[in-house]
């Protein structure tokens, strides 16, 4: 198996770690620049006793000051770099989630490395959409034989892959926002392969679906996983014309990096256009009902959240950072009916649309 190292021979682990830390700074700075009157994000570094570390950058509007009108209501931009041994049960789950990749079975588990950035932004104005993005790199290696202490060498890679995506969750539908968001993503994808945008756009609509509501979480974006040098369950063969895509680790990294760097231009212009629009208590109520659906998706279906909640010693506050400040549930709500502004959103959530061609 080709070892995913750069031409400068810096290991991909180190490259990806540098990337997420730098992207985190860039994104947090962009939000802080947008709302100079608001308190800064709170930077919170943590160490994982079993191996690894991370930084949570979190925004919260002052809790006991309801008159404060910051652009954001609640936001978190997390990075983490963790490693250790993946127990057999976790490998089993991982094998189920990553069917296109052969993961070896070992009774004593396998060493892993994971680095990623994950963010969720909940703005205050009901006209401004919530956004989520996540980019990650994963390695599974051979157990190192500690008895053979001659020369420390890089552990042998058994599997590596990139994953990620981003999606937009409006409470009120502005078609031009969905088009801008999707166009930005498509432009990045198309530079790396013609099948990437259509495949990952569809995957996103499928992943962020709430079966018990029969609706998607929002207007979608991209979702992908298991990107490596091997064949991919959802992508056409690289030997075909439409199958051209990055397969070397360096080239996939370039694609993922370009997506990460497109976050600010994909979202900040939307937020700038919406955050100061006039809004009504009625719109706020609908926004909180939609936040309720966000909670339902994250707690019931989201793979990362579920995995995190089941992991002993996981950092719960970072995992649940994605939840909104406030959410609302009404029994048989009268909001969302056909012919209303709320109903216009529901239509595209029930039947995902192609936003760009």
44 near its own copies (CB under 8 A): yes
Instruction: Please say whether the beta carbons of 161 and 114 come within 8 A.
Output: no
Query: Among 98-106, 198-206, 237-245, 328-336, which window interacts with its own copies (CB under 8 A)?
Result: 328-336
For the segment 100-159, give every residue that binds its own copies (CB under 8 A): none
Instruction: Please say whether the beta carbons of 356 and 186 come within 8 A.
Output: yes
Cβ-based nearer residue to its own copies, 239 or 334: 334
Of 98, 122, 132, 282, catalytic: 132
26 near its own copies (CB under 8 A): no
74 near its own copies (CB under 8 A): yes
Tokens of 142: 């051979």
| Contact with its own copies (CB under 8 A) among 9, 36, 47, 66 | 66
Task: Look at the block and give the residue holding tokens 């993005």.
Answer: 133
47 near its own copies (CB under 8 A): no
264 near its own copies (CB under 8 A): no
Task: State the Cα–Cα distance between residues 120 and 131, nearest whole angstrom.
Answer: 6
Active site residue 275: no
292 near its own copies (CB under 8 A): yes
Residue 125 is classified by DSSP as S
Number of neighbouring beta carbons within 10 Å of residue 291:
23
Q: With 0-12 CB in 10 A as exposed, 13-18 as middle and 19+ as buried, what is 143?
A: middle
**Distance in Å, CB of 72 to its own copies, minimum:** 12
| Contact with its own copies (CB under 8 A) among 314, 344, 346, 353 | 314
Task: State the Cα–Cα distance between residues 94 and 304, nearest whole angstrom.
Answer: 11
Cα angle vertex 121, ends 66, 23, to 5°?
135
Q: Which residues pair with 123 in a beta bridge?
A: 72
| Contact with its own copies (CB under 8 A) among 149, 212, 237, 357 | 212
Q: Measure Cα distances from 92 to 57, 89, 103, 141 in Å.
A: 32, 5, 9, 16
Cβ-based nearer residue to its own copies, 13 or 291: 291
Task: Look at the block and give the residue holding tokens 């490998």.
Answer: 91
Query: Among 11-19, 141-149, 294-302, 344-352, which window interacts with its own copies (CB under 8 A)?
Result: 294-302
**Distance in Å, CB of 316 to its own copies, minimum:** 5
The helix/strand/coil state of 6 is coil
48 near its own copies (CB under 8 A): no
Residues in touch with its own copies (CB under 8 A): 42, 44, 56, 58, 60, 63-64, 66, 74, 76, 211-213, 281-282, 285, 288, 292, 295-296, 299-300, 309, 314, 316-317, 319-321, 323-333
List active site positions. 132
């Amino acid at each position: 198996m080709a070892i995913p190292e750069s031409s400068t021979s810096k290991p991909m682990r180190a490259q990806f770690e540098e990337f997420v830390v730098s992207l985190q700074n860039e994104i947090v700075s962009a939000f802080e620049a947008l709302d100079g009157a608001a308190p800064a994000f709170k930077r919170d570094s943590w160490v994982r006793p079993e191996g690894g570390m991370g930084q949570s950058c979190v925004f919260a509007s002052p809790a006991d000051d309801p008159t404060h009108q910051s652009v954001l209501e609640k936001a978190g931009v997390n990075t983490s770099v963790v490693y250790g041994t993946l127990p057999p049960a976790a490998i089993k789950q991982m094998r189920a989630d990553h069917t296109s990749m052969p993961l070896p079975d070992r009774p004593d588990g396998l060493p892993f490395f994971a680095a990623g950035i994950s963010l969720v932004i909940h703005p205050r104005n009901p006209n401004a959409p919530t956004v989520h993005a996540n980019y990650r790199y994963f390695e599974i290696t051979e157990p190192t034989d500690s008895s053979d202490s001659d020369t420390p060498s890089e552990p042998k890679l058994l599997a590596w892959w990139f994953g990620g995506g981003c999606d937009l969750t409006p409470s009120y539908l502005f078609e031009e926002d969905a088009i801008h968001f999707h166009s930005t993503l498509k432009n990045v994808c198309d530079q790396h392969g013609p099948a990437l945008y259509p495949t990952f756009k569809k995957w996103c609509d499928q992943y962020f679906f709430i079966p018990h509501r029969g609706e998607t979480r929002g207007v979608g974006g991209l979702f992908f996983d298991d990107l490596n040098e091997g064949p991919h369950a959802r992508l056409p063969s690289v030997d075909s014309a439409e199958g051209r895509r990055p397969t070397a680790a360096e080239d996939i990294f370039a694609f993922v990096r370009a997506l990460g760097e497109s976050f600010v231009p994909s979202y900040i212009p939307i937020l700038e256009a919406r955050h100061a629009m006039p809004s009504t208590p009625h719109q706020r109520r609908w926004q909180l009902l939609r936040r309720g659906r966000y909670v339902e998706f994250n707690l019931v279906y989201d793979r990362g959240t579920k995995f995190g909640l089941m992991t002993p010693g996981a950092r719960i506050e970072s995992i649940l950072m994605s939840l909104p400040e406030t959410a609302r549930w009404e029994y048989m709500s009268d909001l969302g009916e056909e012919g209303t502004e709320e109903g216009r959103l529901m239509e595209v959530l029930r039947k995902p649309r192609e936003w760009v061609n």
